[in-house]
Structure 1
Amino acid sequence: AAPELKEAVQLFASEESVFKHVFTSAWAKVMTADHFNVSSY
């Protein structure tokens, strides 16, 4: 595995709060990535 991936996995495994923070930030970004501005119509 790539060293960067191993570091991330080890960090997430040892610090649940870090995983939750990164996951929720990424989730919000993914969920809003394809939204469009409806007020412009």
Structure 2
Amino acid sequence: MLLLQADPTGLSSPLGKLVIAAILLTVVVLALRHLWNRRGR
């Protein structure tokens, strides 16, 4: 199975998961701020 092989990018490591989570959280926050600013006009 592909999922059981070692991930050459290191994204399956705890640090990789943390980085992905931080990026996703940043994208969500920026999107919400953008929508909030558009709504306020």
TM-score, with normalisation over the residues of structure 2?
0.47
**Higher fraction of helix:** 1
TM-score, with normalisation over the residues of structure 1?
0.47
- Using CA pairs under 8 Å that are at least 6 residues apart, name the structure with larger relative contact order, 1 or 2: 1
